[in-house]
Amino acid sequence: MLTVEKIGGTSMTALSDVIKNIILFERSGKQLYNRIFVVSAFSGVTNLLLENKKTGEPGVYHRLANYKDFHKPLNSVTIKLKQINKSYEKLGLNIAEADRYIENHIKQAQTYLENLANVLASGYVSKDGILQAAREILASIGESHSAYNFTNILQNMGINATLVDLGGFNDHRSYTIDQRIKKDLQHIDFENTICIVTGYAKGTEGIMREFDRGYSEVTFSKIAVEVKPHEAIIHKEYHLCTADPVLVGMHNCHPVGYTNYDVADQLADVGMEAIHPKASKPLEINNINLRIKNTFEPEHPGTLITREYICETKRVEVITGTDKVVMIDVYDPSMVGNVGSDLHIMQLFFKYNISYTFKATSANSISIVIWEKDFNKKLIADLEDDFEHVTVQKMAVVCLLGTNMDQPGLLARSAAAFAENGIDIKSAGFALRKVNIQFLVAREDFDQSIIALNKAMA
């Protein structure tokens, strides 16, 4: 039965394990086929092309965006990609072919980027559109490189593998992303080949315009919707666990066997993405089940995410959270009985394109939690103009998640766990369905909060 599978950058870098644990594990002959693999760039490559996802350290893109010469860092990327090629020689990669492929690819990209830089320097066009095009061109390089290498290695192993480069470098026709996927996949005989597809997909709408660095999961989702597989699978370097094993210890947590798309959305809302919400939604709507697997434990079935799953027993399935949020508390004595205060605050958030993850209200105040990376001083200034007092505090949010955890005493057990560990709950809240119970604590209490709740719910 056909599957669509995504392999992340960290897993791709361990390509020998991918081949052993995913391609060949308990398979031979015709069993190797009927699989479409959507691949990310090798670990760290997109950081060099765009910027470091975690630290913000600039890559090639930022040289062009700041009207600086980008040729030297782009050449450094070529050297780095050839070094990566060399590291896969023992796996059977044809180094001469791989080097020639990436040289030609980057040379073509350089021509496009030079044209964009010249137009940008003219001052006659919108800077935003030009820079967005540059990000698209640069991002596509990483996935084209990894997909080519993966396909070449499999072919040299005697496995029938087909490369599908959705980057569209040599196709200048105007397709949407969905149209390009349909066109490039429609004549492939999946029963007799392993299909290796780039995580980047070129389209008139620009996949990075809306999804930026989450684009490979979007491509994966769109392909799954197009071909309607038996199952969609994401291979990661870790299991989706009941709690962070680094914090609570490997023996105090375990992989989540089953959950539903609602819980997956809740996970994404606090940064623990099983899958990007805008990639999961089409899968959910089309009733395509999603499995999260650990690349390095192929015998483990992983976590199956479905639309309908509800746990048979009432329990907490996942304990997670983040310490990268801030709380904005807006106070004004005129709020009480005054219609529209919340609306006005939300209009200001909309003005600055800021989404919140938590909100609590009282008679005269509204507390809102946002990602620290989204903090905007102009928003605070606008709030201070319209309300008496605005306070900003660094916080952490800790969550209990589950498909069926509405049980008497759950809040009491949680509060007791915090109290026993000397942790003050700054705020708490949940919606009626109780799939996500959130606690706001001081940032320095985050790790201990996860440990305490995990122990209390065991």
Torsion of CA 257, 260, 265, 266, to 10 degrees: -70
pLDDT for the residue numbered 209: 81
Q: Higher-confidence residue: 380 or 407?
A: 380
Q: What is the mean pLDDT of residues 406-417?
A: 94
What is residue 183's predicted lDDT score, i.e. its pLDDT? 96
Q: What percent of the chain has pLDDT over 70?
A: 100
Assess contact for 318 and 242: CB atoms under 8 A: yes
- Give the chain's radius of gyration (CA, Å): 24
Confidence of residue 316 (pLDDT cuts 50, 70, 90): very high
Domains of the chain and any CATH numbers = 3-237 (3.40.1160.10), 318-457 (3.30.2130.10)
Q: Does 16 score more than 90 pLDDT?
A: yes
Which of the four pLDDT bands, split at 50, 70 and 90, describes residue 2? very high
Q: State how far the Cα of 75 lies from the Cα of 109, in Å rounded to an integer.
A: 12
Q: Is the pLDDT of residue 396 over 80?
A: yes
pLDDT confidence band for 211 (50 / 70 / 90): confident
Neighbours of 243 (CB within 10 A): 23
Mean per-residue pLDDT of the chain: 94
Residue 26 burial (C-beta neighbours within 10 Å; 0-12, 13-18, 19+): exposed
In this prediction, residue 58 carries a pLDDT of 93
Q: In this model, does residue 210 exceed pLDDT 80?
A: no
Taking CA atoms, 133 is separated from 113, 137, 349, 405, in Å, by 9, 6, 28, 46
| pLDDT for residue 284 | 95
pLDDT band at 433 (very low <50, low <70, confident <90, very high): confident
Model pLDDT, residue 222: 96
Total-model pTM: 0.91
Per-residue pLDDT tens over the stretch 269-302: 887 777 888 889 999 999 999 999 999 999 999 9
pLDDT of residue 129: 87
pLDDT at 103: 97
Q: What is the DSSP letter of 315?
A: B
Of 351, 358, 359, the closest CA to residue 381 belongs to: 351
Give yes or no for residue 185 having a pLDDT over 90. yes
* Host H or E run for residue 303: strand 303-306
Instruction: For residue 248, give every residue at least 6 positions away whose Cβ sits within 8 Å of its Cβ, in sequence order, or none.
Output: 450, 451, 454, 455
Average pLDDT over residues 166-178: 91
Q: Answer whether residue 221 shows pLDDT above 80.
A: yes
Q: Is the pLDDT of residue 55 over 90?
A: no
Q: Cα separation of 454 and 254, whole Å?
A: 11
265, 278 contact by CB (below 8 A): no
* Full strand arrangement of the beta sheet holding 35-39: 161-164, 194-198, 35-39, 3-7, 231-236, 290-294, 303-306, 258-260
> E strands of 16-131, at which residues?
35-39
Query: What is the percent of the chain with per-residue pLDDT over 90, rounded to a whole number?
Result: 86
Model confidence at 126, pLDDT cuts 50, 70, 90, reads confident
Nearest to 131 by CA among 48, 25, 206: 206
Is the per-residue pLDDT at 431 higher than 90? no
Burial state string for 47-60 with b = 16 or more CB within 10 A and e = fewer than 16: bbbbbeeeeeebbb
Give yes or no for residue 141 having a pLDDT over 90. yes
Q: Which residue matches tokens 């990075």?
A: 208
- Do 400 and 452 contact (CB within 8 A), yes or no? no
